[in-house]
Amino acid sequence: MNRTISGVPAKNQALVTWVEDMATLCQPDAIHWCDGSPTEYAHLLRGMVHSGTAMWLDDQKRPNSVLVRSDPGDVARVEDRTFICSPTQDDAGPTNNWKAPDEMHGILDGLYEGCMRGRTLYVIPYSMGPVGSPIARIGIELTDSLYVVANMHTMTRVGTRVLDVMGQSTDFVRGLHSVGVPLTGTEADAPWPCNPTHKYITHFPATREIRSFGSGYGGNALLGKKCHALRIASVQARDEGWLAEHMLILKLTSPEGTVKYITGAFPSACGKTNLAMLIPTIPGWKVETIGDDIAWMKFGADGRLWAINPEAGFFGVAPGTSMKSNPNALLSAARNSIFTNCAMTLDGDVWWEQMTDEEPPVLTDWIRRPWRPGCGRPAANPNARFTTPAHQCPVIAPEWEDPRGVPISAMLFGGRRPTVVPLVCEAFNWRHGVFLGSIMSSETTAAAAGAVGQLRFDPFAMLPFCGYHMGDYFGHWLSMTGRTSPSMMPRLYYVNWFRKGDDGKFLWPGYGENSRVLEWIFRRCDGTADAVDTPIGRLPRPSDLNTEGLDLPRDALVELLRVDASGWLATVEQIERHYARFGSRLPTVLREELAALVTRLRGVSR
């Protein structure tokens, strides 16, 4: 078949051959090699508008921005259709769906055959991380979705400069994506094409391949994001001795001008993006953003862990984002952004729940219906998103693009725990910190009848994203201290912004006030802040936290820092069940840490 080829094809023969092989399988009408230029991005937006996928927003209110509405059946990651296709099921572990590689390839090849007829196959060369960074990695995504190409332009570094750095190397992640809706030439294309029957998001860690079929949304289709940056990269990190983590990276500067860099792992709905873009309430302190979602960390020549944000943009959850909760995120999306499944105002702007104090009197909701306050349905989809360049963030740190990365002094782990877990706790050492990361959890509330106090474990916030057996993943974390001097490793902390009092209200105000906890952590890394040893770790005393100007009753602060020994003991059985999932692959030292915790707790609860 003769196909139109546009753009400048790579000179890398291995890449060219793979693209030709995939084109033979998928049978597109044309192939376009992306150059990553602003002109190309503008063409992509115009193409989405012309096809009905997107509509322009008012250029005065939201310059160079569009609103996209997906198919109502394609609005989020589909974890039940996400697979790790490692050589054996045991390699994938109990937290992943698994199919044998040959079996999955057989299924997918049948679906991919002819799936791009009537469409263009776009070749997207992208770098996860600053182009040429020793911590960065290169991937190639093939897709038939304009929406995917436009989003990848923002979320990664795309174009010919990536091919130049790549040269003749065969060390790149191969990603193939299709919406799974071929066109015969007679029917009109859907505004949001997706396959209603077949959806697969599959990963082949041994061969560094990603294959995605049927969905056009978010992490299902933007293969550089969770698929490459976490599921495949976590395996690369294990094999090569580094860390690929679901973590924010922030820069914290003291009034004295001293700088430290901190990473943090938080499950969804635990304030990760808010923390990454935090505006401190304590005078003289400054927070700047390196990244809000993913961190890749490698040991430098100095023995420290150096981190980059492998992404170039933010793919943020819109509902709940406001000038109160996260003004810097909202300001980041003021222009040059793609909004997905948000509501639209009468004057051509976007809106979502909690964006403003007052709800607009009338809107068009995310599936094109008239909407009024009190109508009984949300205006924006709960997973509505904004895609915006990271460089537009008002508090983006200058070194966020530094190819060397930034040296990490501390790592935070957190969950949503209304009881038991104190505001902040410092691990005794690295292995104790890995134990705390391995039991990260959020707690069910009264909204789940009969399940109050049950823990939903999400170790290191990686449960949906670890590309191999999580027991081995814990072992990989434990092995880090063998790669450098223990004194060079970051300090590890467990934080909890969500502790509640007997009245059911949050004890800690959160948001900008979290800077008070960051200050204590900063000073602990400096050796200038005190802590007391407790059965669960090292905690500040109420007097150790800077509470000047904070309207917080002393009894609330005491409760926030109280060690609830009986509460911790009551969770041990749940932790044991959680650990039992990993069988013999669970590192012995984690069971030893749990036993030691129980002994310490019983010693103070008598």
The class level of CATH for 4-53+80-241 reads alpha beta
Global pTM value: 0.96
pLDDT value at position 3?
84
Report the candidate in 322, 326, 337, 335 with the shortest Cα–Cα distance to residue 61: 335
pLDDT at 605 over 90: no
Report the candidate in 490, 497, 474 with the shortest Cα–Cα distance to residue 415: 497
pLDDT value at position 449?
39
pLDDT tens across 376-394, in order? 999 999 999 999 999 999 9
Q: Let me know how long the chain is.
A: 606
Kindly indicate the confidence band of residue 504, based on its pLDDT and cuts at 50, 70 and 90. Answer: very high
Q: Which CATH architecture has domain 314-392?
A: Beta Complex (2.170)
Kindly indicate the confidence band of residue 352, based on its pLDDT and cuts at 50, 70 and 90. Answer: very high
AA letter at 123: V
pLDDT at 531 over 90: yes
Long-range contacts of 40-45 (CB under 8 A, 24+ apart): 40/153, 41/150, 41/153, 44/146, 44/149, 44/150, 44/153, 45/150
pLDDT tens across 454-490, in order? 899 999 999 999 999 999 999 999 999 999 999 999 9
User: Where are any strands of DSSP class E within 469-567?
Assistant: 491-495, 532-534, 537-539
Kindly indicate the confidence band of residue 7, based on its pLDDT and cuts at 50, 70 and 90. Answer: confident
CB atoms within 10 A of CB 385: 27
pLDDT value at position 467?
98
pLDDT value at position 133?
97
pLDDT tens across 20-37, in order? 999 999 999 999 999 999
Per the prediction, the chain carries an average pLDDT of 95
| Mean pLDDT of all residues in 112-119 | 97
pLDDT tens across 435-453, in order? 999 999 998 754 433 455 6
| Mean pLDDT of all residues in 348-367 | 96
pLDDT value at position 451?
55
Kindly indicate the confidence band of residue 592, based on its pLDDT and cuts at 50, 70 and 90. Answer: very high
341 Cβ neighbours under 8 A, 6+ residues apart? 68, 69, 70, 75, 366, 380, 381, 383, 384, 385
Kindly indicate the confidence band of residue 87, based on its pLDDT and cuts at 50, 70 and 90. Answer: very high
- 200 DSSP β-pair partners: 213
Active site amino acids: 270
pLDDT value at position 185?
78
| Mean pLDDT of all residues in 497-525 | 96
pLDDT tens across 258-277, in order? 999 999 999 887 889 999 99
Residue 413, helix vs strand vs coil: strand
pLDDT tens across 286-322, in order? 999 999 999 999 999 999 999 999 999 999 999 999 9
Q: Which CATH architecture has domain 245-312+399-605?
A: Alpha-Beta Complex (3.90)
pLDDT tens across 192-236, in order? 999 999 999 999 999 999 999 999 999 999 999 999 999 999 999
pLDDT value at position 452?
56
Q: What is the DSSP letter of 232?
A: I
Enumerate the domain spans of the chain. 4-53+80-241, 245-312+399-605, 314-392
